Copies of this chain bind each other. A is one copy, B any other.
Amino acid sequence: MPITPEQRDEIDRLRAVTATTRRATVPALEEILYQPVELLDHGFVRVVDYMGDDAAVVQAARVSYGKGTKKVSEDAGLIKYLMRHRHSTPFEMCEIKFHVKLPIFVARQWIRHRTANVNEYSARYSILDREFYVPAPDQLGAQAVINRQGRGDVLEGEEAAAVLRLLREDSERAYSHYEELLNQREDGTIIDPARQGLARELARMNLPLNYYTQWYWKVDLQNLLHFLSLRADSHAQYEIRVYAEAMLDIVKRWVPAVYEAFTDYRQGGAHLSRNGLDVVKRLLAGEAVTQEVSGLSKREWRELMDQLGRSEG
């Protein structure tokens, strides 16, 4: 259960309070403000605050005194232009703050994106909850053979069952031992009054990487889009991709014109190398180019044919 009834109450209390503001406000985002989008078995992502909207991008690009332009269509056109020509600074003018609950191994990938602000729950200071990630059966991918860092077929039958059993048992045992080390149960009860209990900052090291942590993560729109271009991508690990996809939906609510430009130019497009572009030109000129004469390695050729949607060369 990602959210306890007490947490749900706190969220509801916060959602019930409204104020009047002169700031740019996005009703579609206000609708879901503070609401957790539940992910994996115990995770969530929720928007806690935001600054700016589509018009703020335009306003900054123009360094204007009022709002960007009068017409929404002009704003959208300028935003597309900025995206196409890699003008990054206007997109930095919007900011968003998330509260995220996520497995530690996902947090370790996520934190590699440095241009963001983070406050993480401290397991030096506090005790972690008994919450760990176990993949759903359809996500139990076998090691991929060609792509050394991906997943292949989904495990089935007894192998799958054994994997799940082992993950669950180890995670449960780890938490019981965490309590042992702390000399304290999850509910605060002292186990043995004659013992002192190991320091929290040490006891935590016995927990596996599938345990959940949580943090506040604040980022500007430009860096969020960069994060999403890498993590909402098919090469990203599934467990971080579900977060990225949920955040992409949030971006769509928040800044629809930026979302449109992003999915058109960055997500949906393709980058061709000098040689790749040359191959396209020759193909368009009617030449029957093959990998051998393309100047591309086999791997590059295969990637290019994939991008162009051609089954063979």
The answer to whether A33 and B23 have CB atoms under 8 Å apart is yes
Whole-angstrom distance between the alpha carbons of A288 and B67 in the complex? 42
CB contacts under 8 Å to B, within A101-120, are: 103-105, 107-108, 111-112, 114-115, 117-120
A256 within 8 A of B: no
Q: Which of chain B's residues have a CB closer than 8 A to the CB of A189? A: none
A174 CA to B209 CA in the complex, in Å? 11
- Does A231 make an interface contact (CB < 8 A)? no
The minimal Cβ–Cβ distance linking A56 to chain B, given in whole angstroms, is 7
Per assembly, the copies of the chain total 4
Q: Is the CB of B181 within 8 A of A177?
A: no
Among A22, A209, A273, which residue has the most Cβ atoms of chain B within 10 A?
A22
Cα distance, A204 to B86, chains bound together (Å): 24
When chains A and B are docked, how far (Å) is the Cα of A264 from the Cα of B267? Answer: 21
Known: A23-B33, A63-B216. A95 touches B93 (CB 8 A): no
Q: Is the CB of B284 within 8 A of A275?
A: no
Contact with B along A149-161 (1 / 0, CB 8 A): 1111101000100
Looking at the complex, which one of B18, B56, B144, B196 makes contact with A49 (CB distance below 8 Å)?
A: B56
Is A140 a contact partner of B21 (Cβ separation < 8 A)? no
Q: Smallest distance from the beta carbon of A159 to chain B beta carbons, Å? A: 5
Contacting pair A142 B196 (CB below 8 A): yes
Residues of B within 8 A of A214 (CB): 63
Say yes or no for A307: interface residue by CB 8 A criterion. yes
Counting chain A residues whose Cβ lies within 8 A of the other chain, the interface size class is: 35 or more
Task: Provide the bound-state CA to CA distance between A59 and B155, in Å.
Answer: 35
User: In the complex the two chains form, what is the Cα distance from A117 to B167 in whole Å?
Assistant: 33
Given A89-B117, A89-B118, A196-B143, A207-B206 contact (CB < 8 Å): no
Question: Is there an interface contact between B141 and A202, defined as CB atoms closer than 8 Å?
Answer: yes
A272 adjacent to B269 (CB under 8 Å)? yes
A210 contacts B by Cβ under 8 Å:
yes
What residues of chain B lie closer than 8 Å to A310, measured between beta carbons?
Answer: 284
Known contacts being A21-B23, A170-B206, is A163 close to B144, with CB within 8 Å? no
A19 within 8 Å of B by Cβ? Answer: yes
A185 within 8 Å of B (CB atoms)? no
With an 8 A cutoff between CB atoms, is A1 at the interface? Answer: no
Beta-carbon nearest neighbor of A271 in chain B: B271
Q: Chain A, 56-98, contact with B by CB distance < 8 Å: what is the 0/1 string?
A: 1001110111110000000001000100111001101101010
Give every chain B residue within 8 A of A105 (Cβ-Cβ): 204-205
Interface check A24, CB cutoff 8 A: yes
What are 10 residue pairs bridging A and B, where the CB atoms are less than 8 Å apart in the complex?
A20-B20, A51-B95, A63-B99, A77-B297, A84-B300, A89-B112, A151-B199, A264-B275, A268-B277, A269-B276
- 10 additional contacts, CB 8 Å, given A23-B30, A51-B97? A15-B22, A17-B22, A23-B33, A143-B200, A159-B195, A170-B174, A264-B274, A265-B274, A269-B273, A280-B308
